[in-house]
Structure formats: structure tokens, C-alpha cells
């Protein structure tokens, strides 16, 4: 993948991900083709933290309707990144 910022798309903010942050786990939407080592490297370099573990999953896009027309949202990949004790990502703090 070229640029590290193209691997990590955006943070995923929900009640569940906020609860995971107490266990030092942060959730990101990542590129569909990104591998665990690529995600680890990108998070470590962008946020200057040490990653212990990366869990990934594919999320299927939902079917959406607008009147008679039916469409689908795109599939996306979610990565839950566990950081070393003492490391935090300030981007999430205060949300």
C-alpha cells in the first residue's frame, strides 16, 4: 500500500468502541486490502505508540432502500488495535 494514511481511513466511534478504550483497545476503519502488519506499522508511525495486537474483521455493507430503489452500502474492514500499557491515542480522548 503506499501512504500510511491511506491504510487507516477513520476512527470508529460508538458506545462499544468507547468501552473498549478502557482496555486500551482502539478501533479504526481501514483499507479492505490492508494486512495486520501494515495496520500495525501505520498506527505505530502515525500516533507514535507501540501496538501489541491487531484484530481485523470485514463488515458487510447494509442494504438500503429509497422508495422503490434498493442499493447497498460498501463493505469495509474494521481493525481493533491493542496498545501497550501506558500508551494512548489522544485523537479519541474527549470525544
pLDDT in tens, 30-55: 999 999 999 999 999 999 999 999 99
Residue 44 lies in a domain: yes
Residue 91 within a domain: no
pLDDT in tens, 54-74: 999 999 999 999 999 999 999
Q: What is the mean pLDDT of residues 70-91?
A: 92
The pLDDT value recorded for residue 60 is 97
To the question of pTM greater than 0.95 for the whole model, the response is no
Instruction: Give the structural domain span for 43.
Output: 4-83
Q: Regarding beta strands 76-83 and 8-11, do their DSSP bridges make them parallel or antiparallel, or are they unpaired? A: unpaired
Domain membership of residue 61 (yes or no) is yes
Give the rounded distance of the alpha carbon of 49 from its chain centre: 15
**Is residue 91 over pLDDT 80?**
no
Helix or strand (DSSP H, E) at 66: strand 63-66
Instruction: For residue 85, give Cα distances in angstroms to 48, 49, 66.
Output: 14, 10, 46
pLDDT tier, 93 (very low <50, low <70, confident <90, very high otherwise) = low
Amino acid at each position: 500500500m503506499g501512504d500510511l494514511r491511506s491504510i487507516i481511513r477513520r476512527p470508529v466511534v460508538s458506545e462499544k468502541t468507547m468501552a473498549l478504550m478502557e482496555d486500551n483497545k482502539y478501533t479504526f476503519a481501514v483499507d479492505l486490502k490492508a494486512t495486520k502488519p501494515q495496520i500495525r506499522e501505520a498506527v505505530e508511525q502515525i500516533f507514535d505508540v507501540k501496538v501489541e495486537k491487531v484484530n481485523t474483521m470485514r463488515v458487510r455493507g447494509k442494504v438500503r432502500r429509497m422508495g422503490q430503489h434498493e442499493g447497498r452500502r460498501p463493505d469495509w474492514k474494521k481493525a481493533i488495535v491493542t496498545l501497550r500499557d501506558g500508551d494512548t491515542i489522544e485523537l479519541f480522548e474527549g470525544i
